[in-house]
């Protein structure tokens, strides 16, 4: 896998530096259930029925089974409804999407002239946001367009020409549409940047600055991130007005995830993985590898050995990646193999195990990987292979 190092002189595309072997201390990757402290449950100030939102939106929330807001929803929805700029510091899997889509849908129901741009770092996260948005906007006249790379641009151009209320997508495709004069951002008075830190990590800073610069100065800006780096603070200073800071960051690794390592030693790594996947408790497993080629090869090898597998990585088309995710969510496959970038921000229910077949380069990436299991109060297991 590659990560951006610096921008070239044109400022459009990042140069890339090959990521070498991980130097993670294996002792950081072990945490037994008995080590996990008891954490008091968050006590929300509101229930969803308390929020001053339109009836049709409230009905859609109830239809989705929402009752008690998560901490980020509880603290962010009211300020967003009040039209304030918000910086939300929250991990993935904390309900951020509903925290910004619900109040923005209500805003458009009250004023149909309003338009919203939502940016996400990856195609998969953009698709996920769009799917959740559709559930909340069901039965309303609110329109939307999903604009991501790897999908038919002509279809997206036709949708954008109809001036939808919501455009959800990735920075690169949005910039393409603006540069080709198909998208006029001065008409969009609301901007959401989801996982800002990740967008900067993978080299989108110039695209984000360009897109923000095309929008009106008088707009509502919502930034969500797990961290608040100097680069993000620079964006806040330049493009937000007196933002409210909301921090609901959880500790680095979830209390619900039991973590351990398997030392490979003289054994064959593939055979160790095979034996693990054959265990009855490994019902829905996410396996992380370092490279696109390695992930694809491992997926095919496991398939030949009789496991139901699929893979997501940068060499797959958007349709292939989305089909793999849907099959994994629907339990049609047991094992999904992925690289870090492809799996960023995914919200997949009931993942029983995360296996780090290749260790990530940083502890931050490790935390992100194992956060795919142990969600919604369920217990999860993370296993890392070490030499």
Instruction: Report the distance separating Cα 235 and Cα 286, nearest Å.
Output: 34
Q: How many CB atoms lie within 10 A of CB 257?
A: 23
SS (H, E, C) 260-307: EEEECCCCCHHHHHHHHHCCCCCCCEEEECCCHHHHHHHHHHHHHCCC
Cβ atoms of 375 and 349 within 8 Å: the answer is yes
Position 4 scores a pLDDT of 33
Domains of the chain (ranges; CATH) run 2-39+255-386 (3.40.50.300), 48-247 (3.40.50.300)
Q: Is residue 179 classed as helix, strand or coil in its secondary structure? A: helix
Token readout for 121 is 């770092």
For residue 303, what are the contacts with CB-CB under 8 A and spacing of at least 6?
A: 309
Position 39 scores a pLDDT of 44
Complete DSSP assignment for 188-232: --EEEESSHHHHHHTT-HHHHHHHHHHS-SS-EEEEEES---HHH
For residue 65, what are the contacts with CB-CB under 8 A and spacing of at least 6?
A: none
pTM of the model: 0.67
**Residue at token pair 């034996």:** 275
Instruction: Report the distance separating Cα 254 and Cα 354, nearest Å.
Output: 13
- What is the tally of helices (H) and strands (E) in the chain? 14, 15
Phi, psi of 375, deg, nearest 5: -95, 160
**Residue 263 β-bridge partners:** 386
Best CA proximity match to 175, nearest among 136, 204, 146, 218: 204
For residue 187, what are the contacts with CB-CB under 8 A and spacing of at least 6?
A: 115, 163
Give the pLDDT means over successive 10-residue stretches in the chain (387 positions): 33 39 63 50 87 96 92 96 94 86 98 96 92 96 93 91 95 94 95 91 89 95 88 90 85 72 91 94 94 94 96 86 90 93 73 92 80 80 90
């Amino acid at each position: 896998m590659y990560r951006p190092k610096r921008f070239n002189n044109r400022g459009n595309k990042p140069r890339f530096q090959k990521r070498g072997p991980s130097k993670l201390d294996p002792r950081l990757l072990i945490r037994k259930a008995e080590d996990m402290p008891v954490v008091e449950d968050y006590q929300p100030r509101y229930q969803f029925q308390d929020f001053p939102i339109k009836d049709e939106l409230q009905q859609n929330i109830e239809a989705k089974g929402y009752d008690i807001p998560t901490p980020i929803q509880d603290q962010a929805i009211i300020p967003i409804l009040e039209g304030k700029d918000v910086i939300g510091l929250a991990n993935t899997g904390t309900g951020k999407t509903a925290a910004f889509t619900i109040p923005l849908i209500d805003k458009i129901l009250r004023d149909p002239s309003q338009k919203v741009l939502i940016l996400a770092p990856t195609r998969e996260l953009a698709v996920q946001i769009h799917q959740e948005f559709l559930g909340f906007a069901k039965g309303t006249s609110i329109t939307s367009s999903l604009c991501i790379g790897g999908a038919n641009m002509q279809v997206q151009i036709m949708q954008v020409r109809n001036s939808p209320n919501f455009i959800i997508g990735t920075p690169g495709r949005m910039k393409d549409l603006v540069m080709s004069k198909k998208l006029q951002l001065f008409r969009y008075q609301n901007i959401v940047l989801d996982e800002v830190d990740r967008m900067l990590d993978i080299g989108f800073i110039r695209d984000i600055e360009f897109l923000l610069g095309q929008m009106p100065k008088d707009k509502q800006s919502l930034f969500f991130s797990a961290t608040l780096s100097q680069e993000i603070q620079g964006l806040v200073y330049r493009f937000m007005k007196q933002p409210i800071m909301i921090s609901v960051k959880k500790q680095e690794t979830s209390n619900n995830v039991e973590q351990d390592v398997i030392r490979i030693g003289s054994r064959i790594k593939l055979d160790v993985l095979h034996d693990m996947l054959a265990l009855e408790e490994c019902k829905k497993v996410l396996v992380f590898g370092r490279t696109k080629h390695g992930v694809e090869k491992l997926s095919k090898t496991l398939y030949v050995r009789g496991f139901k597998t699929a893979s997501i990585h940068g060499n797959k088309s958007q349709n292939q990646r989305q089909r793999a995710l849907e099959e994994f969510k629907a339990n049609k496959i047991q094992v999904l193999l992925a690289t870090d970038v492809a799996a960023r921000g995914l919200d997949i229910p009931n993942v029983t195990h995360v296996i780090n077949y290749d260790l990530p380069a940083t502890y931050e990436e490790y935390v992100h990987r194992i956060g795919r299991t142990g969600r919604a109060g369920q217990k999860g297991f993370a296993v890392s292979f070490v030499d």
